[in-house]
Structure 1
Amino acid sequence: MTVLLLAGTGEARRIAWGLTDTSVKVVASLAGATRHPEPLPVPTRIGGFGGEDGFRTYLAENKITAVLDATHPFAHHITNRSARVCADLGLPYALVVRPKWEAETGDNWTSIATPQDTARHIPDTATVFLATGRQTLPDYANLEGRRVLARMIDPPTEPFPFEGGEFVIGRPPFRQSSEEALFKALGVTHLVVKNAGGKGGRAKLDAARALGLPVLLLDRPKLPDTVHVTSVQEALLWVASQ
């Protein structure tokens, strides 16, 4: 049995470690969005597959017998392609679905369906902390005219895609105290995030609550109709069942 683990999240890392104690052969795949990702304890390939045809070829050439998708909740292009190809090939496939964040007492959250909905909730004088990822920045171009701050793990190689934008460099994990200090120092008035869920990104939301900042949460894309597991333990049990 050879499992392809589509990785890039904390859950994927814990799954990889969990599978090292089994007889299952595992190959992890990282998209390559981060220049120096932390190494995984299993053989790892980095970079895209070359589209759907390339993905099919990889599965066949490497005799993959099951695919476990533990990519980011917003990596919908990868997830939809992987689910579709596996269904077509009759290959076992499961998607790790991280629970969404839920508002708590003191939170001032507004859900939005698309990035284009953001600007109508944020005044022109705002300083916006845009925590939605480098690749999605052009989608928020209607925030132009406001001061927009976007955090990146690696230093940028290209200019900000619209006027008024600035990059902030930082590498996780982040703590609530450090997020509060950062938001205060930068004069942040609004926070925009994807509803990715998980513990890793929760600190900025807790900081926003403590500071009384409004938060816009982008809803998740629709998930494919396939096997869903909601925890690392469920994912390991699914692999064992194959």
Structure 2
Amino acid sequence: MTKETAHYQAGTKPRRILLLGGTGDSRELAEHLASRDDVEVISSLAGRTEQPASLPGGLRVGGFGGVTALADYLTREGIDLVVDATHPYAARISANAAAACRDSGTPRLHLARPPWRATAGDRWIHVADTKAAAEALPGLAERVFLAVGRGELDAFAGLPGIWFLVRTVDSPREKLPLERYEVVLGRGPFEVNGERALFALHGIQALVTKNSGGEATYAKIAVARELGLPVIMIDRPPHEAEETVGTVEEALRWIEGRL
């Protein structure tokens, strides 16, 4: 028995871990941590999904209000460790977390699953952001599967000659900023057979997506390759992190090393 384990068994307060979440990896990590008696995990979600799936442990929804407010929260709530397991494209959240952890002296880990890599048969067109993705579409395809997230559709508003298939978790409450489109609801993981049927049903000619990595949403990439369709791949923004791991198992080892 280690000295720290003995303290916990004697009634010492569990260490508090803030998990900046919203991804499948963050959910898996929360489930692993919830089974431990020596930690208390608090998952923080941005609140973009109206009905997020239930999570073990504590939960807070909504932004912190910037770097200073987050640093104050870490100090006030006695947070011992921060694990940033947000979406790879949540650059602002990650940057705020990095600064807040520096200001408060809180150890921080960035959990980012590896990006997808093009393989034989892929027709990827790499772009830096959604604006560049929209600029690449005219003349490329007229029926496009747009898998970029509902909050980033404005970049495609000025393309009246293109019909879009938009997949969201929640049903939109108002008209999307697109001229011609259809919405399909769905929450991953997605399978190849289902994605193949979706492409065929809607006559998809091109895919626009972010390089999220992981298996849950990879099926659409596999189907695009199978059909020989172009994929406009929005590359990941840079992230600031002193320590980064690519798997939940590595994150658990990092946490264990600090307990």
1:158 to 167, 174, 195: 174
Q: 1:73-152, aligned counterparts within 5 Å?
A: 73-124=88-139, 126-152=142-168
Report if aligned partners of 2:71, 2:103 keep a CA contact under 8 Å in 1: no
Q: 1:31-50, aligned counterparts within 5 Å?
A: 31-50=46-65
Offset of 1:141 from its aligned partner?
2.9
- Secondary structure (helix, strand or coil) at the match of 1:143 reads coil
Q: 1:213-224, aligned counterparts within 5 Å?
A: 213-224=229-240
**Count of residue pairs the alignment pairs up:** 242
1:4 maps to a residue whose letter is L
- Secondary structure (helix, strand or coil) at the match of 2:153 reads helix
Q: Which residue pairs with 2:12 in the alignment?
A: none
Q: Which residue pairs with 1:182 in the alignment?
A: 198
1:6 maps to a residue whose letter is L
Report if aligned partners of 2:209, 2:234 keep a CA contact under 8 Å in 1: yes
CA distance in 2, matches of 1:149, 1:97: 28
CA distance in 1, matches of 2:30, 2:241: 24
CA distance in 1, matches of 2:133, 2:44: 33
Judge which range, 206-215 or 161-170, deviates more. 161-170
TM-score, normalised via structure 1 length: 0.94
Offset of 1:142 from its aligned partner?
4.1
Report if aligned partners of 1:127, 1:187 keep a CA contact under 8 Å in 2: yes
Offset of 1:123 from its aligned partner?
3.5
Offset of 1:184 from its aligned partner?
0.7
Offset of 1:226 from its aligned partner?
1.8
Q: Which residue pairs with 2:27 in the alignment?
A: 13
Report if aligned partners of 2:146, 2:208 keep a CA contact under 8 Å in 1: yes
Report if aligned partners of 1:2, 1:64 keep a CA contact under 8 Å in 2: yes
Q: Considering only CA atoms, is the larger Rg found in Structure 1 or Structure 2? A: 2
1:179 maps to a residue whose letter is E
- Secondary structure (helix, strand or coil) at the match of 1:145 reads coil
Give the fraction of aligned pairs with identical amino acids, expressed as a percent.
43
1:104 maps to a residue whose letter is T
Offset of 1:183 from its aligned partner?
0.8
Q: Which runs of 5+ in 1 are unaligned?
A: none
Q: Per-residue displacement from partner, 1:200-226 (whole Å, max 9, x unpaired)?
A: 110110111122211010010011042
CA distance in 2, matches of 1:57, 1:39: 27
1:128 maps to a residue whose letter is V
1:167 to 183, 187, 194: 183
2:93 maps to a residue whose letter is I
1:71 aligns with 2:86: yes
Q: Which residue pairs with 2:212 in the alignment?
A: 196
Q: Per-residue displacement from partner, 1:44-96 (whole Å, max 9, x unpaired)?
A: 11122233333223212211111000110001111010011101222100100
Cα RMSD, aligned residues only: 1.5
CA distance in 1, matches of 2:79, 2:19: 10
Judge which range, 123-132 or 5-14, deviates more. 123-132
Report if aligned partners of 1:116, 1:142 keep a CA contact under 8 Å in 2: no
1:21 maps to a residue whose letter is S
Offset of 1:18 from its aligned partner?
1.4
TM-score, normalised via structure 2 length: 0.89
Q: Which runs of 5+ in 2 are unaligned?
A: 1-14
1:230 to 236, 240, 246: 246
